[in-house]
Chain A
Amino acid sequence: MSNMECTHCNLSFPKDVMIEEDNDLYFCCKGCQGVYHLLKDDGLDSFYDKKGKEKLSAPLAVNEDASNFDLDSFKQIYIKTTADGFSSIDLVIEGIHCSACIWLNEKVLNDEAGIVEVNINFSNHKAKIVWDEDTIKLSHIIDRIRAIGYNAYPYKTGTKNEINVNKKRDYFSKLSVAIFASMNIMMIDVAKYTGYLTSMSDDAKFMIHVAEMIFASPVLFYSGIIFFKGGYFGLKNKIINMDFLIAFGAVLTYIYSWYVLVSGSGHSYFDSVAMIITFVLVGKYLEVIGKKNANDTIDTIKSSIPYEATRIKDNEKEIVSVEQIEIGDTIEVKNGQKACVDGKLISTYASFDQSSISGESIDVVKQKGDTIYSSTINTSDVIVYEATTTYANSTFNSIIELLENSLNTKPKIQDITNELSKNFSLIILLLSIATFTGWYIYNGDFENALIVSISVIVIACPCALALATPIASLIGISWMSKKGLLLKDAKLIETFNDIDTIVLDKTGTITHGVLEVVNMSNKTLTKEQLNILYTLVDSSTHLVSVAVKKYLNKNFENLEFINIKDIKQIAGLGINASYDNKILYGGKSQNTENKYTNFEFKINDIVIVRFDLQDTIKEDATQLIEYFKSQNIEVFICSGDNEYVVKDISSKINIKNFKANMKPEDKYDFINQLKKENKKVAMVGDGVNDTLALSKADISISMASGSDISINVSDVIILNNSLKSLMNSFYISKRTYKFIKQNLFISLIYNALTIPIAMAGYVVPLFAALSMSLSSLLVVGNSFRIKRNLNKKDI
């Protein structure tokens, strides 16, 4: 069967599953069909010309009532009033793929009466909407966005965001001036250097110097002000920093060039002043963009947290902002809504989509008393739960805070590098002074001595050295986050490299923590017996019953429910029931402890069948252990389970070192003992029982599905609970560290080679600036190789 492209979203599907219309229109779903006709009816079908072959995701079907956007509690938090008296809101638009999507949203909203301004940013999908509250309601605006297959979430624009936006604009202005002036100077330079060869008149030379001065001055005093400020703050803290060197070198060159301009003798270097500032400013601008992008990412994640919740107090429901929720409050969550804070389920049953926390797409079934995590979506009917945290301490908010901290901390090696570049700057300044003195004494030529010393300063600018660690760390950490790993602190990249021992928890780490039938003692059950058993296990939601039911469904056909009576759950044992005057029992076997969990099915006390169940090992466990062995990392399994079970699991994945019956304090003591043996230990766990051990390890790694406490004490969080991600964390960190070392080597070698050449007077300041920039580019380019090779390996 041939595939067809959906007329709206361009995604391909087999022709027979598509909705066909008029023989030439094909839709993959009702949503696409609806949006297509809506756009056509509103005369917006030029959207498809603009979109071209760009593939969209299917339109978002949002069933939520937008009237919440008109509530006073919402307005107080998210809506601002402009100077003209209009209302303004900042939103993140979900579902944007291309420029045509932006065009469509802006066009649809601009066509609405009462909309004053709509501005959607292509890069971060943030939108600013200004409207007249007297003419149109915000809920209507949101409904229009949803009608065309997109969705909008509000976010709070803090001062941090404003600072970043203004800083980006400021740097962009400064860079624009610098590039504009440098390009003009380069053109004038053509005339200048050609003139040197063709004996230019003094008048013409003077005019060229004046023109260069006109263009170089704004670069130094407007664009270069950043370096003056940086240098000043450095001096205030008794540090000779990179900014000081740049400012010092540029000012010296500028003063000397003025001297040449006025005296009419020698060569001016206004071009060098502009170039030095411009080249270094490009790097600074990229840094500002990086910080702004990180902030945008965090804003987008934050916007996915619900902004209000339904609280039940004294049997009355009230809508409150999430910040108002207190521990112990009863909260109602409707189908499709997100939980705003963590809590314990009060309803008897619920199912939640926890993908925002764990990356796991399968819904998780919850029973009364189970933990509900913030930002997870209720996929069952209306449920109520009791808040056990405030919004600020909720799991999702903690993850965002961790992400923010991770982006703001520097690896230890970077601290060392910064220290190094501070001392390095001082050494270079001294070398430059020595070069000037040496040359002046040697040939008595002030101009020559000054230019050579300036070249030394510029060529030795430790930009590459300062960039070596942060750029590689940034790439490594961002790659980790794409692989479902959250690194609390960038300093850990270095620690990963030193790890020689890893201790793994069993349940939830090596195994799924879900039981599976591995053996059925009697497969010749009658049809009636099978149906009785099937109905019996269906009546319980216990993990063992669920596993047996799953096994029966998989291995037997035409199973039917029958009318069994007197079903009783016996806590910790199983289920009792009756059928046709027979006494039924399904539950724990009275057998002795072995490596399996058992389930027996008895009729009138006669065992009909027995099932052996076992926790399943995660698919990539063996691959993970092989990887650790290849890296000479010693692996231990520590578990609170009995020896049979732990031994069996260990042997299946080829681990010789295992510890069974370990209590939390035993695990802690074990890690302590390993550390006393001078081992660098990483601990991977997920439960409260692992928390003590996690806090003691050099690196603690936790699964996102684990307990809040274990996540809090961990350095690394594996968001998708996959062992492959655990392997990736080691692989990426080690690789990033390797590139940091390479970068440091490149920058140091560069300086070792170029400084003597500059001191010997073979480099003019302009080429020094070029060469310095090239070294920075080399370091940046080398860092990008981290990602390239990871793609190839597809880890």
Chain B
Amino acid sequence: MSGILWLELIVGTLISFSLLGLMLWAVKGGQFDDGKKQMNGLLFDSTEDLQDAINKENKIKELKAKKQKNNNLD
């Protein structure tokens, strides 16, 4: 019984601290700088916005690759 409790404590603590670490990483990255925008952003989530996010990621990748190529040429 006691062994199970210790196991639960260790696993629970590890998981919760990992999640906390994830949040701290997001905070350091500036994701929580604008709380209001984040809260309201939830209302605007749609498949269209998700598609936009994917397109944006692809666009950034392309731009970075292009920039890298130009820098190498220089």
Contacts and interface: CB of A to CB of B under 8 A. Distances in A.
A207 interface: yes
Given A116-B60, A132-B63, A132-B67, A122 B40 contact: yes
A177 interface: yes
A173 B28 contact: yes
Contact of A134 (B20, B56, B64, B70): B70
Interface residues of B, number: 33
A67 B48 CA distance: 33
Interface in B1-58: 2, 5-6, 9, 13, 16, 20, 23-24, 27-28, 30, 32-37, 40-41, 43-44, 48, 52, 56
Given A107-B52, A121-B37, A177-B20, A50 B44 contact: yes
A176 B27 CA distance: 10
Contacts of B66: 132, 134
A173 B34 contact: no
A99 B66 CA distance: 33
Interface in A110-130: 110, 113-117, 120-123
Contact of A165 (B2, B33, B43): B33
B34 A123 contact: yes
B2 A203 contact: yes
Nearest to A85: B67
Given A203-B2, A207-B6, A123 B67 contact: no
A180 B6 CA distance: 21
Given A99-B40, A110-B52, A173 B67 contact: no
Contacts of B43: 50, 99
Contact of B27 (A100, A103, A122, A172): A172
A203 B9 CA distance: 13
A166 to B, nearest CB: 9
A84 to B, nearest CB: 6
Given A169-B28, A180-B20, A184-B16, A122 B70 contact: no
B44 A103 contact: yes
Contacts of A420: none
A66 interface: no
Contacts of B20: 176-177, 180
A168 B30 CA distance: 10
A211 B13 contact: yes
B34 A135 contact: no
A46 B48 CA distance: 10
Nearest to B35: A123
B5 A207 contact: yes
Given A99-B41, A177-B20, A84 B64 contact: yes
B33 A121 contact: yes
A633 B1 CA distance: 80
Interface residues of A, number: 39
B19 to A, nearest CB: 9
Contacts of A625: none
A176 B60 CA distance: 32
A86 interface: yes
A569 B35 CA distance: 65
A214 interface: yes
A260 interface: no
Interface of A, helix, strand, loop or mixed by DSSP: helix
Nearest to B41: A99
Contacts of B23: 176
Contacts of A204: 2, 5
B30 A169 contact: yes
A102 interface: yes
Contacts of A169: 27-28, 30, 32-33
Nearest to B16: A184
B48 to A, nearest CB: 7
Contacts of B60: 116-117
Contacts of A114: 63
A478 B41 CA distance: 30
A102 B37 contact: yes
A615 B6 CA distance: 87
Contacts of B59: 113, 115
A134 B69 CA distance: 13
Interface in A38-94: 46, 50, 84-86
Contacts of B63: 86, 114, 116, 132, 135
A207 B40 contact: no
Contacts of B67: 84-86, 132, 134
Contacts of A120: 37
B52 A123 contact: no
B14 to A, nearest CB: 10
A99 B56 contact: no
Interface string A171-184: 01100110010001
Nearest to B25: A173
Nearest to A110: B56
Contact of A173 (B6, B24, B64): B24
B27 to A, nearest CB: 5
A110 B37 CA distance: 17
B20 to A, nearest CB: 5
Interface in A394-417: none
B21 to A, nearest CB: 10
Nearest to A177: B20
A108 to B, nearest CB: 11
A64 B19 CA distance: 49
A102 B38 CA distance: 11
A122 B48 contact: no
A84 B32 CA distance: 24
Contacts of A123: 34-37
A661 to B, nearest CB: 59
B3 to A, nearest CB: 11
A122 B37 contact: yes
B32 A172 contact: yes
Given A86-B67, A207-B9, A177 B40 contact: no
Nearest to A112: B59
Contacts of A46: 48
Interface string A137-179: 0000000000000000000000000000100110011001100
Given A184-B16, A204-B5, A99 B24 contact: no
B17 to A, nearest CB: 8
Of B5, B43, B44, chain A has the most CB atoms within 10 Å of the CB of B44
A177 B70 contact: no
Contacts of A132: 63, 66-67
A99 B5 contact: no
A214 B13 contact: yes
A648 B61 CA distance: 77
B24 A168 contact: no
Contacts of B28: 169, 173
A671 to B, nearest CB: 49
B6 A85 contact: no
A123 B32 CA distance: 12
A99 B44 contact: yes
A113 B27 CA distance: 29
A-B complex: 6 closest residue pairs judged by Cβ atoms: A99-B40, A122-B37, A122-B36, A121-B34, A173-B27, A85-B67
Given A107-B52, A122-B37, 11 more contacts: A85-B67, A85-B71, A99-B40, A116-B64, A121-B37, A123-B35, A132-B67, A165-B30, A169-B33, A172-B32, A173-B24
16 contacts: A50-B44, A85-B67, A86-B63, A86-B67, A99-B36, A102-B37, A115-B59, A116-B63, A117-B60, A122-B36, A134-B67, A169-B27, A169-B28, A173-B27, A177-B20, A211-B13
Interface of B: 2, 5-6, 9, 13, 16, 20, 23-24, 27-28, 30, 32-37, 40-41, 43-44, 48, 52, 56, 59-60, 63-64, 66-67, 70-71
Interface of A: 46, 50, 84-86, 98-100, 102-103, 107, 110, 113-117, 120-123, 132, 134-135, 165, 168-169, 172-173, 176-177, 180, 184, 203-204, 207, 210-211, 214
